[in-house]
Chain A
Amino acid sequence: MSYLAKPKLHHPSLQPNALGYTRRDYEGAMSTMCAGCGHDSISAAIIQACYELDIPPHRVAKLSGIGCSSKTPDYFLGNSHGFNSVHGRMPSVLTGASLANRDLIYLGVSGDGDSASIGLGQFAHAMRRGVTMVYIVENNGVYGLTKGQFSATADAGSRSKAGGINEDSAIDLAALALQMGATFVGRGFSGDKEQLVPLLRAAFSHGGTAFIDVISPCVTFNNHSGSTKSYDYVREHNAALNRIDFIVGRNEITTEYAPGSLVEVPQHDGSILRLRKLHDSYSPTDRIAAISHIAERRALGEIVTGLLYVDDQPRTIHDHLGTVKVPLNQLGESALCPDNAALTGINASLR
């Protein structure tokens, strides 16, 4: 971390996006993370993705729980809405917000402790309900903020900095999200922005529940040789399935690829997700195959990354509940609080 603010001066070639904002306009306050923390790189990737997608900062709501990871929303999108909730409770607060104002872009930022330990139940329900959001877990295998205890994503057999061995089995949040019904599931690595930024762009454009498990080394407590979440370990065991060339328009063709090496997934909004396959037989639109592939690879000691699964027609909480198209916060009092006659009508219909 630094005490000084990041200087405002920027590179002379810095370009504004369609909204007239430069990448620097998507930054936030100065980070207080330890120097070298993977979480800072994820913040940088979010900044880059939002800038590239021309997202209006004031249309984004960032919600988080407790932890180093959950502190990071202060360090990006300084002009967006933010809410720092109780430990593990981000999903329910976000669900409420999203029901009240369905027009905002919701970004949930959490940690492995926040989501897999104390908040596991909240996590599972957000996934199965189809809450429209991008849910990012900055996964370092430890409770960084409370000085490095194992979290529920720590692999069995991995060693803590103090020397203790983790005997409990690990929760794979990506696999769990798939089981729970998330309609977009990916895994990235904070040390590989070339993969992470397009993954984030795809998630922001998904329109349903998009979950990304981002492995993010804790330099201070979990970057040693006995860790399975260190920079070195993740780089050695990373099995990337695909690379996303995220394309906004329908007809943009950038590069020619060998036949069969591309997967194109049209998105609900008309754009196309173009995937360059790195693994021949993998299909990112088959949920069950995805679950078993992750399990198989995991048994071999590999960490699969990339876009694991996407449903091009995601159903969301709003579909499930049949909510009105107009955000609740824009409805007048008479619509939100129906009069006595309406209540009588409803009661009568239930008799």
Chain B
Amino acid sequence: MKPTDIRNPDYFHKVVDCQWACPAHTPVPEYIRLIAAGRYDDAYMINWESNVFPGILGRTCDRPCEPACRRGRVEEQPVAICRLKRVAADYKGAIGERLPKTPGKKNGKRVACIGGGPASLTVARDLLPLGYSVTVVDGARQGGGMIRSQIPKFRLPEAVIDEEVGYILGMGVETRFGVWVNSLKEILVEGYDAVFVGTGAPRGREANLPGRQEAAAHIHIGIDWLASVAFGHVTKISKRVIVLGGGNTAMDCCRSSKRLGGEDVRVVVRSGFDEMKASPWEKEDAMHEGIPIHNFLVPKEFTHDKGCLTGVLFEKVRAEVDAKGRRNLVPTGEPDVHMECDEVLVAIGQENAFPWIERDLGLQFDDLGMPVLNQATLQSTLPRVFFGGDSALGPKNIITAVAQAHDAAISIDKFCRSEDLLQRPAPHVKVLSQKMGIHEWSYDNGITMDLRHRVPTQEIKKALSSIKTEFELGFDPQLALAEAQRCFNCDVQTVFADKACIECDGCVDICPVDCITFTADGEERELRGRLTAPALNASQDLYVSGLLKTGRIMVKDEDVCLHCGMCAERCPTGAWDMQKILINVAHAGQG
């Protein structure tokens, strides 16, 4: 194999599985170490730089980092990365002074952001310190988008939203809240240098079944209903509620119902339990609150008595894999199931809608009604207009919206400076050897056997008594420390120096997870099979040295390396060193 080029920042970045998986590439182990050290402010700021909403995300993030976490490949559960983020937010002091300052002198460029959700706010945050004038327009009365209008307050208290949205608005955003944009043309004529569309995916999918019109008063679209709850227009629900759908919106609907008077609240899903879109922990929380989930039932009809809803009729189905390997739901032929209820919440999906964008502006849409975008730059076919967040790719999540907005902000900045948008800025890389003594490192290289710590939660009766009582209480500093210690410090990399190695096998013998092999060179696939432990996880790279004195090479399988530094402690010549490789992706103006 070709010797690994460790100067390519992506090589070691990929080894930091969580950071690589995070759409915004938050330097996770770096902030976890700071939390362990009680440096909550610093931990918060690292998050804030990358993901903009640490307190919000520390409670609500979809956490793609956790399934990627290396710890989950060596024991049962990954590190509770997301809830550690919340610790930084909960225990930090006043960080206002550390926020970037908006320069007194503007650069003369004006940018409009349509929609005031996480995507637009991130664009504003990235561009304001560079001297841009940023106007955010949203039909809602406050900033935050669906963070504010959809996510129930028992998961995310209002104060946290106010604080973190406030940091950005406080940087000098010109807000036009309570103003719906009904025409992109009207915005364009205002002469902005660039326009960012961050309007989300605001339309809830309908369930057009018999009875829908007649019983309309008792059937609500989930996201509209959640918004009404969020803004206090709805404060009660009937005793018997059926929630249709298996995603996170359905989970928020059922858990909210339980808090607003629903007694017999049930979730009914077309698919099987495992195929449901909701995150496993959302399903768990719902069931923990006494909400049953019924699977493999397809709604057929809303039954009613002269417009008064009486229930929903379902057809029973089962999953069948067809010749092409696709899963299909086919009727089982059993009798239909009728479930009685007084109200139904329809949470079966969200759609984009751009009725306010004129189709004669040169801004193209594809067959599915989505804007045609350059994937690398998020620029639309109307060069001045950029998209990001749910408006760009359909409903996703906050962290994806933030990450895309960072990218869009880079594009907007380059566009306004007439630079090539396709030349993306390289990440910033800092390398720091951790060696302090023969077996002393400036990071804590001990490996704890602690299993994942549970986040303490509100006692169930109290939790269900109010829609505003936060369900999760968060880790306290002791639990946070214990959980932080479970992190392997995957950013502290094993760096190998071919020339120094005397091939004593010391590192091979000590490595607890059999990562290291000295062997004859070979083709990757074959090589993977004959290492000290077989390297079966092809998504993880092999670190390959140049030819050593005996004509062999050193091969390290990165897959389950604990970053414990034992190899480096055992090496007589310093051929292994533990080096912290801190990678920060560049944001607008940092190229």
Interface residues of A (CB under 8 A from B): 1-4, 6-14, 24, 31, 34-38, 40-41, 43-44, 190-191, 193, 217, 219, 223, 231-232, 235
Contacts and interface: CB of A to CB of B under 8 A. Distances in A.
Contact of A8 (B508, B512, B514, B566): B512
Given A1-B569, A9-B562, A40-B509, A217 B504 contact: yes
B447 A191 contact: no
A22 B86 CA distance: 39
6 contacts: A7-B562, A9-B447, A11-B560, A12-B74, A34-B572, A36-B504
B512 A191 contact: no
Nearest to A38: B504
A13 to B, nearest CB: 6
A35 B505 contact: no
Contacts of A1: 439, 569
B570 interface: yes
What 7 pairs between A and B have smallest CB-CB spacing?
A: A36-B572, A7-B447, A44-B509, A11-B533, A36-B504, A2-B569, A7-B512
Interface of B: 73-75, 438-439, 445-447, 449, 502-506, 508-510, 512-514, 533-534, 536, 549-550, 560, 562, 564, 566, 569-573
B505 A6 contact: no
Given A6-B512, A7-B562, A36 B506 contact: yes
The interface residues of chain A, by DSSP majority, are classed as loop
A12 to B, nearest CB: 7
B513 A10 contact: yes
A43 B550 CA distance: 22
Given A2-B566, A36-B573, A41 B504 contact: yes
Contact of B505 (A4, A7, A9, A193): A193
A6 B566 CA distance: 8
B534 A13 contact: yes
Contacts of A223: 502
The interface residues of chain B, by DSSP majority, are classed as loop
A35 B575 CA distance: 12
Contact of A191 (B73, B505, B510, B566): B505
A329 B534 CA distance: 45
Given A10-B513, A11-B513, A191 B503 contact: yes
Contacts of A217: 504
Nearest to B509: A44
B506 A235 contact: no
A7 B506 contact: no
Given A11-B533, A35-B571, 20 more contacts: A1-B569, A2-B569, A7-B447, A7-B566, A8-B447, A10-B514, A11-B514, A12-B73, A12-B74, A31-B510, A34-B572, A36-B504, A36-B570, A44-B508, A190-B504, A191-B503, A191-B505, A231-B502, A231-B504, A232-B549
Interface centre among B449, B505, B510 (most CB of A within 10 A): B505
Contacts of B573: 36
A44 B505 CA distance: 10
A339 B505 CA distance: 58
A9 B74 contact: yes
A286 to B, nearest CB: 32
Contacts of B502: 36, 219, 223, 231-232
A235 B502 CA distance: 11
Contacts of B509: 40-41, 43-44
A276 B272 CA distance: 58
Interface centre among A7, A219, A231 (most CB of B within 10 A): A7
Contact of B536 (A4, A9, A13, A41): A13
A8 B449 contact: yes
Contact of A35 (B446, B514, B570): B570
B510 to A, nearest CB: 7
A3 B566 CA distance: 10
A22 to B, nearest CB: 11
Contacts of B504: 36-38, 41, 190-191, 217, 219, 231
Interface centre among B506, B514, B533 (most CB of A within 10 A): B506
A52 to B, nearest CB: 14
Contacts of A11: 513-514, 533, 560
B446 A4 contact: yes
Contact of A7 (B73, B438, B439, B564): B564
Contacts of A2: 439, 510, 566, 569-570
Nearest to B537: A12
Contact of B449 (A9, A43, A193, A219): A9
A193 B73 CA distance: 29
Nearest to B512: A7
Contact of B75 (A9, A35, A43): A9
A235 B552 CA distance: 13
A38 B514 CA distance: 18
B578 to A, nearest CB: 13
Contacts of B75: 9
